[in-house]
Amino acid sequence: MTTNPVPNQPRRINRRGLLAGGLGLLAAAGGGGAWALDRYVLDHVEVTGASTLAAQNVVVAEPDSTGSATATSYRSDTATIAIETVSAGSGDDTVTYFVADVRVTDATIVRSAFAGDQFGANIIADPSEIAAGVGAVLAINGDYYGFRDTGIVIRNGVTFRDAGARQGLALYADGSMKLYDETATSAGKLISDGVWNTLSFGPGLVDDGAVISGIDRMEVDTNFGNHSIQGRQPRTGIGVVDNNHLLFVVVDGRSSGYSRGVTMPEFAQIFADRGARTAYNLDGGGSSAMVFGGALVNNPLGKGRERGTSDILYVAG
């Protein structure tokens, strides 16, 4: 498979990686900076046993006893997964990404899990650790909900936060997926309409099968330590081709000779080229991770190490 990258765009510095150092300065300064240290460093657990709470609304399908996993595929009575590794370009223009083509018979086996099985701020764990805790067959990092205190957070049919702020993604129990304006609805209305999970990061990448215009200029929000999402970056996203037919895509980046990362329009084009009707951008950078059969599939930042995050989206076994 080949790609046709858009012309090079001016690179912007993503300063999210500088968060830890900046917080150290705030701690030393004290006074007005203390609120930031408390809000973004100290754990704030709001809900414990989150998976147990969500399980009250889960209709569990027994996995096929003959279900099998290999390095690239999985098949059971409830899901088929095929993972493709794509490398395009050469030298410093190389792009490497991973596409998991997922088909399920029941959309509610596409679930979310929180780090430490707790909902709150600054609770993190490696995606592979979270995935192991719930027995995930396939997982990608989620929207890092714990980095902000806004957004509608519905996970596995349960509302954890109802504070609309941006464009969100709704995954429905019938296997469909839609972009929506969080500020124009409520968690209660979404659940009554059949929403099973929401994700709050963005922007939307593809709508009605077409790449959304202007995404090369959009920013997510202005939370402390969260700056530009533009330029060539490692990225994670999810899309839907048809009901119960999903695409999980992770692009590696910031690694010379292995993968430069992609711009937002390039990322959207990957989904559109594979027939996605809708696609949405999730947390990226060093957080981008795909875990399959308990092993890390991609190579974050070319270092082979995961970065802790607050949540994952996964396919249950």
Per-residue DSSP letters for 233-292?
A: B-EEEEEEEETTEEEEEEE--SBTTTB--B-HHHHHHHHHHTT-SEEEE---GGG--EEE
Whether the per-residue pLDDT at 195 is higher than 80: the answer is yes
Mean residue pLDDT across the chain: 83
Where in the chain are the domains? 47-316
Whether the per-residue pLDDT at 31 is higher than 90: the answer is no
CA distance 30 to 27: 5
Whether the per-residue pLDDT at 55 is higher than 50: the answer is no
* Mean pLDDT computed over 11-23: 32
Task: Count Cβ atoms within 10 A of the Cβ of residue 58 and give its class: 0-12 exposed, 13-18 middle, 19 or more buried.
Answer: middle
CA distance 216 to 17: 21
The two beta strands, 290-292 and 95-104, are unpaired
Structure tokens at 283: 């947390």
Query: Do the Cβ atoms of 130 and 166 come closer than 8 Å?
Result: no
- Read off the pTM: 0.80
